[in-house]
Amino acid sequence: MVNEQVIKRGIDDPGVIKAMLKVERHRFVEEALEDSAYGDYPLPIGEGQTISQPYMAALMTSLLELTGKERVLEIGTGSGYQAAVLAELAAKVYTVEKIKKLAKRAEETLVGQLKYKNVLVLVGDGSCGWSGFAPYDRIMVTASAPEIPETLINQLAPFGRLVIPVGDHFSQVLMVVKKEKDKVKIESSTPCVFVPLIGKYGWQE
């Protein structure tokens, strides 16, 4: 998976590659889908949500440019797979999931089974972020928004980075927000398709 879907598609960050090699993707899908866990496509995880394709998980992680010291906020825990990859590369991961059933399952996998001590899971509206531990050095949003929520930019530390898919319900573009000393710079990365970010500063239910 890592060689064919990550390295050969241009991901060359050694930390990201090492993390993708270590985190077992089949641990984050239902037993019936384990044989498909390493395919180059997203998979359903229940509740109308998906686990992102391996390449997209690697790309978004590489865009954060993690060094190992960062406090990372993830919006959209889902299965917990992306949080596990982030936990291999960051000092602390705070991850928010709107759907209680998914959050509970992800926490059991991440903390109960895999014993990650640097991951905290919250059930809540991810479009609002997690103000209690802000600011964050990095923020990753794994659901699409019609625009970049100002509340997330506000929770980003100076010189921090935010990665988020922005667009309509059918297609989006991965955006990278860089908070510099006195301004915010926004760059586009690549087209993508994600489930919608439902919440106060995302899409309405």
CB 139 within 8 A of CB 162: yes
pLDDT > 90: what percent of the chain? 97
Rounded to an integer, the average pLDDT of 51-55 is 94
Q: What is the pLDDT of residue 145?
A: 97
| Angstrom distances, CA of residue 76 to CA of 123, 166, 184 | 10, 14, 23
CB 16 within 8 A of CB 64: no
Active site residue 79: no
Supply the pTM of this predicted model.
Answer: 0.96
Matching residue, tokens 């059930």: 123
200, part of any domain: no
16, part of any domain: yes
Residue 72's CB: how many other CB atoms inside 10 A? 26
SS3 content of the chain, % helix, strand, coil (to 5): 35, 30, 35
pLDDT in tens, 66-87: 999 999 999 999 999 999 999 9
Mean of the per-residue pLDDT values for the chain? 96
Residue 48: name the closest of 168, 146, 195 by CA: 195
Q: Check pLDDT > 90 for residue 167.
A: yes
Q: Check pLDDT > 90 for residue 181.
A: no
Rounded to an integer, the average pLDDT of 111-129 is 98
Domain harbouring 45, CATH code:
3.40.50.150
Rounded to an integer, the average pLDDT of 154-166 is 97
Range of the domain at 176: 2-192
pLDDT level of residue 147 (50, 70, 90 thresholds): very high
| Overall domain count for the chain | 1
pLDDT level of residue 160 (50, 70, 90 thresholds): very high
Q: What are the structure tokens assigned to 117, written together? A: 């001590």
104, part of any domain: yes
Helix (H, G, I), strand (E, B) or coil at 83: helix
Of 52, 62, 127, 144, the catalytic one is: 52
